[in-house]
Amino acid sequence: MKYSTFAAGVLTASSAFAESPILTVYAGDYFTSEWGPGPVIEKGFEEICECDLQFSTGDLVPRLLLENKRTKADIVIGLTSDVTNKARSTELFAPHGQDNGALTLPIEWTDETFLPFNYGHTAFIYNETTMGTPPASFDALLAMPDDVQIVIQDPRTSLSGLALILWVDAVYGEKSADVWAQLAPKILTVTKDWSSSYGLFTDGEADMVLSYTTSPAYHMFAEDDFTKKAAIFSEGHYFMVETVGKIARTDQPELADAFMSYVMSEDFQTVIPTANWSLPSALPTDQWPEGWAQLPLPEKVLFYSEEKSTAVQESAIETWRAALSK
């Protein structure tokens, strides 16, 4: 008797849920936190989809590789172009079905599988009050006295760290090893992830930190602090783009498609700047939130396609490791 009541309870409960289908979105941990873009996006999409958007967090690529064909994901959001190659190799993804022509990226985007939703560039952030004349180029950074101390992230554990070595590779190519040797005495330390580095910088331990061109925006718009600036280099900056992909075997194909078009919508694009502190992928500059268009951004953008990025990663990491291990 007890059991049948229990079973009835379970059945009614599940049928209540069945009325609103669930869209499972895999995202990075930072993405779904209270202070990330996740909650705003969830609310925005649920208003139009009559569904329940559920995030599931973790390391995206390792998780997809582990779960493989059995993945419960419908959508995967937050894959940077430096890892999309590995994600693509799982053959789990379907074409995104959106018009790449609607993108407003500073580079041309032709990928039909992974759809960019935001971007930024690697940059060194400095504090105006303690550094009067920031370097205007990578060469100038190398020429600075060794008591200028910067903090970077490990390319083996952090995507921004990986972007830095690709940046150096894109600017200096064959000469990268020499560049790392010149940079070595200026590197205070290397941290596991972006947040530890940034913490060292805001604590005043380092003069400059490897971060993004959009980092000053947080200080400007959230803290009214206009002293943190990105040093813009004439050689150009490495382009970092985050993408979203649709799982081919999804049991919610309509919802997944609806989500992909939601990503391109003005609603989604306008929350990206202040929710993720980065630049929207499909929104003309004049529609950016107030003040964002004035953010100093590099004129020249350096970018490795995922094939090129995958091809050089291993040797670039080894060059970096060897130079900094001396």
Using CB under 8 A, pick the residue from 6, 8, 13, 72 that binds other proteins: 72
- Of residues 156 and 175, the one with the C-beta less far from other proteins: 156
- Does 36 bind other proteins (CB under 8 A)? Our answer is yes
Using CB under 8 A, pick the residue from 104, 196, 270, 274 that binds other proteins: 196
- Does 40 bind other proteins (CB under 8 A)? Our answer is no
CB atoms within 10 A of CB 102: 10
Angle 280-286-292 from CA coordinates, rounded to 5°: 60
Using CB under 8 A, pick the residue from 50, 59, 178, 254 that binds other proteins: 59
- Does 218 bind other proteins (CB under 8 A)? Our answer is yes
The answer to whether the CB of 226 falls within 8 A of the CB of 294 is no
- Does 32 bind other proteins (CB under 8 A)? Our answer is yes
- Does 221 bind other proteins (CB under 8 A)? Our answer is no
Instruction: For residue 81, give Cα distances in angstroms to 162, 183, 244, 283, 307.
Output: 11, 26, 10, 20, 10
Let me know if 96 is exposed, middle or buried by CB neighbors in 10 A (0-12, 13-18, 19+).
buried
**CA 255 – CA 49 distance, rounded (Å):** 7
- Does 65 bind other proteins (CB under 8 A)? Our answer is yes
The answer to whether the CB of 80 falls within 8 A of the CB of 243 is yes
Shortest distance (Å) from residue 116 CB to other proteins: 21
The answer to whether the CB of 213 falls within 8 A of the CB of 137 is no
109 contacts: CB under 8 Å, gap ≥ 6:
100, 103, 116
- Does 195 bind other proteins (CB under 8 A)? Our answer is yes
The piece of 28-36, 109-117, 163-171, 252-260 that touches other proteins (CB under 8 A) is: 28-36
- Which of 208, 216, 211, 236 lies closest to 296 in space, CA to CA? 216
Shortest distance (Å) from residue 102 CB to other proteins: 28
- Does 80 bind other proteins (CB under 8 A)? Our answer is no
The answer to whether the CB of 306 falls within 8 A of the CB of 243 is no
The answer to whether the CB of 86 falls within 8 A of the CB of 61 is yes
- Does 265 bind other proteins (CB under 8 A)? Our answer is no
- Does 200 bind other proteins (CB under 8 A)? Our answer is yes
Instruction: Provide the angle, in degrees to the nearest 10, between the axes of the packed helices 159-172 and 306-325.
Output: 90
The piece of 117-125, 181-189, 253-261, 281-289 that touches other proteins (CB under 8 A) is: 181-189
Shortest distance (Å) from residue 228 CB to other proteins: 10
Q: Which residues contact other proteins by CB under 8 A? A: 26, 29-30, 32-36, 38, 55-59, 61-63, 65-67, 70, 72, 86, 149, 154, 156-157, 162, 187-196, 198-200, 202-206, 215, 218-219, 222, 277, 318, 320-321, 324-325
